[in-house]
């Protein structure tokens, strides 16, 4: 399987740029399309779509191209396997350092499609599946140098200088840690000493009702009264420092955004992780920065926050040398 996949911050309003080619022929296959979208969730808002070109090569007897006169539809002998391969390949592509925006590099939006995307050359295609996850645990961001504007962590390898936005680094780390915990149990919850009665408009109450399932798995506890009030009895322990009323207002504001889409645990969790994460303009000790960067390196998707925002920008030392006319 070879192809290109756009980073999640480079998106389109429609699905026309999602192309799957099987044995040299573009095919229409709703299940494969859904697999592509699933691989990008929850990084993309509901109404945005990636640019993806994937060419799959299958043994001739694993695919029947003669189910439709135009051969645009095909039948796979093992459709699930093909879908899972495709999701794995896209997850892999989104973990490649090629998705990191480069300062002074070509604007990634400039050429839609191939150049805008994450390249996987034929030589690399084997790695698309076979490279063990452990290889990512290496220190890909190198050594932490310090902090700029109390907001960006600066790290360097011999080849590159990285600028990491500390808030989204922490957001990504918390998101994956909490999601792993949730597989075992609901998130720790902090009961409020004094349950908070919140006067909310009908639209906000309806929204909380729709999102109640995912929010309660994350440690919120609501109880409705009649009329316009909702009672908040508990909040996720991660957010116990927040003023409850402002917290619920923030929940409503984020989830009312059409980009939030249908209620999902991941989307609600992205809210909690963002809210609990270290803010910009927070001075950090060197050990705290090292810990954050080390934790980021262990995540599955280290280059984008759960909302799809880039976490890291970089400057290549090659470009610096060129600028400074250092030729030795
Ligand atoms: Zn985010």
Task: Report the pLDDT value the prediction gives residue 64, as an integer from 0 to 100.
Answer: 86
Q: Mean of the pLDDT values across residues 158-174? A: 96
Task: Report the pLDDT value the prediction gives residue 107, as an integer from 0 to 100.
Answer: 53
Report d(CA 31, CA 323) in Å as an integer.
48
The tens digit of pLDDT for each residue in 5-56 reads 888 888 899 988 999 998 888 888 899 999 999 888 878 888 889 999 988 8
pLDDT at 142 over 50: yes
Out of 3.40.710.10, 3.30.230.10, 3.20.20.150, 2.40.128.30, select the CATH number for domain 2-130: 3.30.230.10
Distance 265 CA to ligand 1 centre (A): 15
The structure's pTM equals 0.79
Task: Report the pLDDT value the prediction gives residue 35, as an integer from 0 to 100.
Answer: 92
pLDDT at 113 over 80: no
Enter the tokens of residue 31.
């299940």
Distance 309 CA to ligand 1 centre (A): 6
Q: What percentage of residues in the chain have a pLDDT greater than 70? A: 89
The tens digit of pLDDT for each residue in 303-317 reads 999 988 999 999 999
- DSSP letter assigned to residue 304: B
**Would you list the domain boundaries of the chain?**
2-130, 138-328
Summary mean pLDDT of the chain: 85
CB neighbours of 224 closer than 8 A, spacing ≥ 6?
A: 205, 209, 230, 231
- Topology (CATH level 3) of domain 138-328: formyl-coa transferase, domain 3 (3.30.1540)
Report d(CA 115, CA 112) in Å as an integer.
7
Report d(CA 55, CA 20) in Å as an integer.
6
Distance 66 CA to ligand 1 centre (A): 45
Distance 250 CA to ligand 1 centre (A): 14
Q: Mean of the pLDDT values across residues 108-120? A: 37
């Amino acid at each position: 399987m070879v192809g290109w996949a756009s980073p999640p911050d480079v998106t389109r309003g429609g699905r026309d740029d999602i192309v799957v080619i099987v044995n040299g022929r573009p095919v229409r296959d709703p299940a494969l399309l859904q697999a592509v979208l699933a691989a990008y969730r929850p990084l993309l808002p509901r109404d945005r779509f990636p640019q993806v070109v994937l060419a799959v090569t299958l043994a001739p007897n694993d695919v029947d191209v003669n189910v439709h006169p135009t051969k645009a539809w095909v039948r796979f002998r093992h459709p699930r396997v093909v879908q899972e391969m495709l999701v794995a390949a896209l997850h892999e592509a989104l973990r490649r350092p090629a998705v990191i925006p480069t300062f002074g590099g070509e604007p990634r939006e400039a050429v839609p499609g191939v150049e805008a995307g994450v390249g996987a050359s034929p030589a690399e295609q084997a790695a698309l599946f076979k490279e063990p996850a452990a290889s990512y645990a290496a220190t890909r961001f190198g050594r932490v140098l310090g902090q700029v504007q109390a907001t960006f962590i600066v790290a360097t390898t011999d080849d590159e200088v990285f600028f990491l936005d500390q808030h989204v680094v922490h957001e990504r780390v918390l998101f994956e840690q909490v999601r792993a915990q949730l597989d075992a149990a609901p998130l720790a919850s902090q009961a409020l000493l004094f349950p908070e009665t919140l006067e909310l408009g009908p639209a906000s109450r309806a929204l909380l009702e729709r999102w109640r399932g995912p929010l309660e798995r994350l440690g919120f506890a609501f109880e409705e009264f009649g009329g316009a009030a909702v009672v908040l009895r508990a909040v996720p322990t991660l957010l116990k420092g927040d003023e409850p009323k402002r917290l619920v207002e923030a929940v409503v504001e984020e989830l009312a955004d059409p980009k939030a889409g249908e209620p999902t645990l991941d989307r609600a969790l992205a809210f909690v992780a963002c809210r609990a994460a270290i803010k910009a303009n927070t001075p950090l000790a060197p050990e705290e920065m090292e810990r954050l960067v080390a934790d980021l390196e262990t995540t599955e998707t280290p280059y984008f926050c759960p909302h799809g925002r880039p976490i890291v920008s970089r400057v290549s030392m090659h470009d610096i040398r060129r600028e400074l006319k250092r030729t030795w």
